[in-house]
Amino acid sequence: MKKHIVIFSHGFGVKKDDRGLFTGIANGLSEIEPILFDYNVVDEHSDNMTVRPFSRQMEILNRVINEQRDTHPDAIIDLVCHSQGCRIASLARPVGIRKTIFLAPPTDSGIARTLERYRNNPKAIINLEGVSQLPRSDGSTTSVPAEYWRERMAEGSPLESYNQFANKTDLTVIKALQDTVLGETSFKGLDPKANVVELKGDHDFTGLARNVMVEKVLEILGEG
């Protein structure tokens, strides 16, 4: 039997476990090996982090995939991506990925909604020409360099990159129906090769929605 690997691509300003979302999925895997990694520079003592630009995140994802392929040349490799991690995967356009699952992917490349979450916080420092300091709910701080914002805004419509990626992998998009982070997301115009599944839940599929989401992901990966 071929080795089966799932590589997880996390979202903006979080660590590799994606605030428990990815570990919840990984803990349900029995025959598949999970690979979790950090896009960001994380201070393990304070949990503060510095976000890397899109281009660097794409390089990291392709490096992780290529390392697994070099070590296990015959392995089946799937991707599970959440939020911004979906954009990174679609822009990196890795080859040889069997299945890809997008969890609550963004459909807008703008930064206004992201910044709105922090503008009313007196501790937040937003400097699009320098380094922004964004306080997080767990007490940590996320530093965001100007290069990150520039590269994010320079990318075109996420749906365009999703459509290109759908020609390289078996793509399933799982839409969160109560997504208060992204708001209403429309996948009109998504390539019909991609399968869209709608599930109740917020952006991180917290509470009871988490179990339903995990079961659906395991089913798609072949472990349900």
**54-68 residue pLDDT tens:** 999 999 999 999 999
Using the CB atoms, write b or e for 78-92: b if 16+ within 10 Å: bbbbbbbbbbbbbbb
Q: Which domains does the chain have, with CATH numbers?
A: 4-42+52-107+157-221 (3.40.50.1820)
Provide the pLDDT for residue 71: 96
pLDDT digits (tens, 9 = 90+) for 36-57: 999 999 998 888 999 999 999 9
Strand order in the sheet with 170-176: 33-35, 4-9, 76-82, 99-103, 170-176, 195-199
Whether the Cβ atoms of residue 145 and residue 51 lie closer than 8 Å to each other = yes
Average pLDDT over residues 204-221: 98
Provide the token pair at 204: 């991180």
Q: What is the signed CA dihedral for 198, 54, 113, 165, rounded to 10 degrees?
A: -30
Provide the token pair at 91: 């822009």
* Long-range CB contact pairs, 206-213, < 8 A, 24+: 209/176, 210/21, 210/24, 213/103, 213/174
Would you give the DSSP letter of residue 155? S
pLDDT digits (tens, 9 = 90+) for 79-107: 999 999 999 999 999 999 999 999 999 99
